[in-house]
Structure 1
Amino acid sequence: MKILVTGGAGFIGSHLCDALIERDNDLTVVDNLVLGRKENISHLLGRSGFEFIEENLLHEEGMRTLFKEGHFDMVYHLAANSDIQKGGKDPWVDYDLTFNTTFHILQLMKEFEVKKFFFASTSAIYGETYDVLNEDYGPLRPVSNYGAGKLASEAFISAFSSTYGFQTWITRFPNVVGERFTHGVIHDFIHKLQKNPKELEVLGNGEQCKPYVYVKDLVEGILYVVEHASADYNVYMLGSDTRTKVKEIAAMVIEEMGLDATIRYTGGDRGWVGDVPEFRYNLDRVNTLGWKAAYTSNEAVRLAIQKALGK
C-alpha cells in the first residue's frame, strides 16, 4: 500500500514506520519535527519505498500538494501534542496540534478520496473515573486539553467516516513507554537522578496507578487491529490488563541505575492539573479479536528503563 504517516518521526510513529516498512509498504512520512526527531527515522532515510517530508500539517498549500502527488491508499494519523502538561498551560497547543491537525487531514482525505484511516487516540478522552474502561464507556468527560482534543477528533472522524465512506480504525492507548520517548515519568525520573543521584522528587504521593504498554508491543497491536478488524468503523482499546504505581516506577529506575537514592513525594493524589491518577482497561474486545500484549505493565516499564539506560 501507499501510506501516509503523520507524526512518523515521533516516538510511537517512528516505531510504526519500522513495522510498516517491514511489511513492504511504501511510506511517506510527514512531521514538523516539533516533537519528532529526524534521528528516529535516520535508518530509513534513503531506503526504497520511504520518503520523509518536513511539513506543518496545518500548512494548506504544502499538504494539498503532498496529497495530490501521493495518491495514498491509507493514512495513519499519529501527529498530535503528546505533552499533556504543555497543553494544559496553553489550550491553543492542543487545539492546533491535537484537534486541528486531525480536521485538516480529514478534509484532505475527503478531497483526494483516500478511504482508509487510522487514528491514534488515548485513555485521556475518558477523564477521571475509577470504573473499568471499555470502548463503549460513557459519558466521556476529559479533564485535560489533550484529552478534549482527541475526543473532538474522534467525533469528527466518526462523522467523516459515516458521511464520506472512510473505513476507520481507532485505537486508544494508555501510557506508552520504550525507546525514543521524549518525555513521561521514566524520562523525567532518569534525568532527575542524573542531576541529583541522592534524591528523587516524585510528583504526587506515588500511588498513581495506570497501565503501561511497551511501544513495540503497542505497534504490533495497532497493525493487528488494522489487519483483522474489518468493520467500516472500528474502535479498540490497546494496552495491558495490569497496572503499575508511580512509586514502583521510581523504585525500578533507582534500582536499574544502581543508586541508593531516597524518594521525596510532593504530596497530593496526582502529579499536575489534568493528570488522571488512576484508571484501568477492559481489553475483552481486542483479546477476542486475537491480540494480547506480550508484556505486563511492570515488564514494559522495566524494559523501557533498561532501554533508556542503554542496557
Structure 2
Amino acid sequence: MNILVTGGAGFIGRWVVKRLLEDGHNVWLLDNLSNGRKENIEEFLYMNNFKEFIYGDIKNRELLSNLYKNKFEICYHLGASINVQDSLDDPEITFKNDVIGTFHVLEECRKCNTKIVFMSTCMVYDKANDEKGITELHPTKPASPYAGSKISGESMVLSYWYGYKLPAVVIRPFNTYGPFQKTGGEGGVVAIFIKNHLEGKTLNIYGDGMQTRDLLYVEDCAKFVVEAGYSEKANGKIINAGSGRDISINNLAKLIVQSEKQIKHVQHIHPQSEIEKLLCNYVKAKDLLGWEPKVSLKEGIKKTEEWIKNHPDLI
C-alpha cells in the first residue's frame, strides 16, 4: 500500500515507519521536526520502499493537497503537540496543531477515501481505581488543553466515519517508552530516570510518587498502531493499548536505581492535570486486532538502558 505517516520522525512515529517498511509498504513521512528528529529516520532514507521525507507542517493545506496526489490507502496521523505543560503555558499552539491540523488531514483523507488512524492518548481519561483497568467506556476528563485538543480531534475523526463513512480509527496508547525516546520533557519518565541514573544524577519525582503508570514498550505500541490501520474491524472504534499492569513512579524509580538516596520528591508542576492511576484494559485490542504486548517492563527497561548507553548523541 501507499501510506503516509505524519509525525513519523518522532519517537513512536519512527517505529511505526520501521514496521510499515518491514511489511513492504511504500511509505511517505511528513514531519516539521518540532518534536521529531531527522536522526531518528536516517536508517530508512535509502530503503527502496521509503518514498520521501517531507519537511513540512500539517497546517499547510497546499502541501497536504499536493502530497495526497500519491493516493494513500492509509494515513497514520501521529503529528501533534504532545507536551502537557506546553499546552497549559500556550494552549493556542496545541489547539492549532492537534485540532485544526487534524481537520486539514481529515479533509485530504475524505477527498481520497484514505483511512485515518488517529493517535490519541490515555491522558484523555478521568482518574480510575478499577483494578480491571481503564476500558474505552471510561469517562474522559480534559484536564489540560492537550487532553482537550485530543478529545476534539477524536470527535472530528469519528464524525467523518459516521458522516462520510470514511474509514477511521482512534487509538489511545498508554505511557510508551523505549529506544529513541528523548530524555527530557514530558512523557519520557523511563528515559529520563535511566539517563539520570547512568549519569549519577538525582531522579526527581513529582508529588508523592504514588501516581501509577501503565508502561508500554515502544515496539509493542508500534505493532498496535500498524495493526489498527490494517484492520477493517477497527473502523469506527476507539481502542486502548497498554501492558495491563501499572507501577507507581516511586517503584519505577526503585527499579532503575539501587540507592534510594538518588531519589528526590519535588513539587508537581501541573498537579491539576495529573491522573493518579493509569492502568490499561486492552481486551478490545486483543479481540479486534489479536494484539497483546510482548515485552515485560524489566526487559523493556534493559533494552532502553542499552540504547541510551550506546547513543549518547541522540538523547
* 1:202 aligns to 2:202 (yes or no): no
Contact in 1 for aligned 2:76/2:229 (Cα 8 Å)? no
Matched residue, 1:62: 63
> How much identity, in percent, do the aligned residues show?
26
Is the Cα–Cα contact under 8 Å of residues 115 and 165 in structure 1 kept in the other structure? no
Q: Among residues 206, 226, 243, which one is paired with 1:240 in the alignment?
A: 243
Aligned residue runs from structure 1 range 87-236, under 5 A: 87-110=87-110, 112-131=111-130, 132-138=133-139, 140-182=140-182, 183=184, 184-193=188-197, 197=200, 199-230=202-233, 232-236=235-239
Distance 2:94 2:238 in 1: 22
Matches within 5 A, 1:262-273: 262-266=262-266, 272-273=271-272
Instruction: Give the Cα–Cα distance (whole angstroms) in 1 for the partners of residues 196 and 271 of structure 2.
Output: 17
- Structure 2 distance, partners of 1:82, 1:176, is 13
Q: Cα gap change, 1:180/1:231 in structure 2, threshold over 3 Å: closer, same or farther?
A: closer
How far the C-alpha of 1:151 sits from its partner, in A, is 0.6
Confirm or deny: 8 A CA contact 2:58 2:64 kept in the other structure.
yes
Q: Is 1:11 aligned to 2:11, yes or no?
A: yes
Structure 2 CA distance for aligned equivalents of residues 168 and 38 of structure 1: 28
Deviation at 1:288, TM superposition (A): 2.6
Change in Cα spacing, 1:29 to 1:205, as seen in structure 2 (3 Å) is same
In 2, Cα distance between equivalents of 1:199 and 1:124: 26
Q: In the superposition, relative to structure 1, how do residues 125 and 198 fare at CA in structure 2: closer, same or farther (>3 Å)?
A: closer
- 1:263-293 C-alpha deviation (Å, 9 max, x unpaired): 121267x864422121222222222332211
Corresponding residue of 2:276: 277
Distance in structure 2 (CA, Å) of the matches to 1:198 and 1:70: 48
Counterparts of 2:261 and 2:6, CA distance in 1: 40
Aligned residues: 303
Q: Which runs of 5+ in 2 are unaligned?
A: none
SS at match of 1:160: helix
Distance 1:162 1:234 in 2: 11
SS of the counterpart of 2:146? helix
State the one-letter code of the partner of 1:225.
Answer: A
Contact 1:128–1:143, Cα closer than 8 Å, also in 2: no
Aligned-partner Cα distance in 2 for 1:275–1:306: 30
State the distance in 2 between where 1:120 and 1:303 align.
24
Moved more, 277-286 or 72-81: 277-286
SS in 1 for 2:150: helix
* Alignment of 1:80 onto 2:80: yes
Deviates more, 1:270-279 or 1:150-159: 270-279
**What's the offset of the Cα at 1:303?**
3.5
Distance 2:240 2:263 in 1: 33
**What secondary structure sits across from 1:3 in the alignment?**
strand
CA deviation after TM superposition for structure 1 residue 231, in Å:
5.1
Deviates more, 1:246-255 or 1:50-59: 246-255
Is 1:15–1:216's contact at 8 Å kept on the other side of the alignment? yes
CA-to-partner distance for each residue in 1:207-252, whole Å, 9 max, x for gaps? 1111000000111122233334525412211111111211122223
Cα separation, 2, equivalents of 1:4 and 1:226: 11
Superposed CA RMSD: 2.3
The ranges of structure 1 where at least 4 consecutive aligned residues each deviate by more than 6 angstroms after the TM superposition are none
State TM-score, norm by structure 2.
0.88
- Alignment of 1:251 with 2:254, yes or no, is yes
